[in-house]
Amino acid sequence: MRAYLQPAIFGATGYSGYELARLLTRHPAAKKPLLLRRNDESGGCNDLSEAYPQLAGNGGFPLETFSWERMKSAGVDVMFFATPHEFSRELVPEAVSQGFRVIDLSGAWRLKHSANREVYGFAAANDACDEAAVYGMPELHADEIWDATLVANPGCYPTSVILALAPWMRAGLVDLDHGIICDSKSGVSGAGKQPTPKTHFVEVDGDFSAYSVFGHRHTGEMLEQLGVDSGSLQFTPHLLPIPRGILSTIYVKLAQPASAAELEQVLREFYAGKPWVRLFGAARLPQIKFSLHTNYCDIGFSLSPDGKRAVLVSCLDNLLKGAAGQAVQNMNLMFGCNEKEGLQ
């Protein structure tokens, strides 16, 4: 396949941004990404390989000062924003108005309901972009992604939860009155590259903790995409003392008793032809290490002896299927590439 797409990345120095640059560099349909920084950024590295020596020997990855003129002269086809949501909220509307297609990895455009957007502290709505943004989960929204101007890449926790629950919920198998419990654990890279008093090594090593109970920003994505209200789903995130990876344990009561074979069939029919969801069924539960450094979301479940309750387990790499890998998957759909391109 001939390289013909010119991507550009804002925020390549973060963990997700680095993974994105790494994936796009080896993508057969993409040219080496243009790496951008804001005018007010000073100091730090001038080449991404200075921050990530893993990239050394690939001809250099210079970080260029952003300008619309540079974007147009380089023939940029798609802009990736691996930036804080405040920055994306500010610059993405202008990028769209300039005619660029955008894939945003922040939470700036994922939510449709204003009440859910309030957790990000957005001062005002942007009706045009808020309405036009497509939630970038290819397994659920491929038909909308292919011609989208703005794709809002899902959060890492919601990807693990939504992909696990969507098939059974759409089939009416889950008793929503009983409620759903989503107990999720993430490696420390999910908190971003900038260390905080709660995420540096001394605090995290040898510990395991819950956080943001009843108030995590990603809860709104789950509610909107699964079509439930806040009283039907409880999401509790936990911080694991590992670099990367997510495991979500999801507890549901079934609307009526079912067999493991029936539940597995629903999952397999729903994800038929979806290359980045691996189904373990009821035979074996996924583990974080199985999906690390891949774009897979692994899903399995266990069923109670009476067939009335089930526990779903969903695992993924938060920096790949939970961020950069899913962003490349979205780019593939937007530009007519195979979903697996550049991700194998």
pLDDT tens sequence across 23-82? 999 999 999 999 998 765 545 688 999 989 988 887 889 999 899 999 999 999 999 999
CB 163 within 8 A of CB 139: yes
Burial class of residue 196 in the structure, from the number of CB atoms within 10 Å of its CB (0-12 exposed, 13-18 middle, 19+ buried): exposed
CB 24 within 8 A of CB 9: yes
CA dist 213 and 211 (Å) reads 5
Domain architecture of the chain: domains with CATH: 7-153+322-334 (3.40.50.720), 157-319 (3.30.360.10)
pLDDT tens sequence across 177-209? 999 999 999 998 877 777 677 777 777 778 888
CA dist 227 and 229 (Å) reads 7
Is the predicted pLDDT of residue 91 greater than 90, yes or no?
A: yes
Active site residue 156: yes
Record the pTM.
Answer: 0.94
**Catalytic hit among 156, 182, 297, 337:** 156
pLDDT tens sequence across 284-296? 899 999 999 999 9
CB 13 within 8 A of CB 44: yes
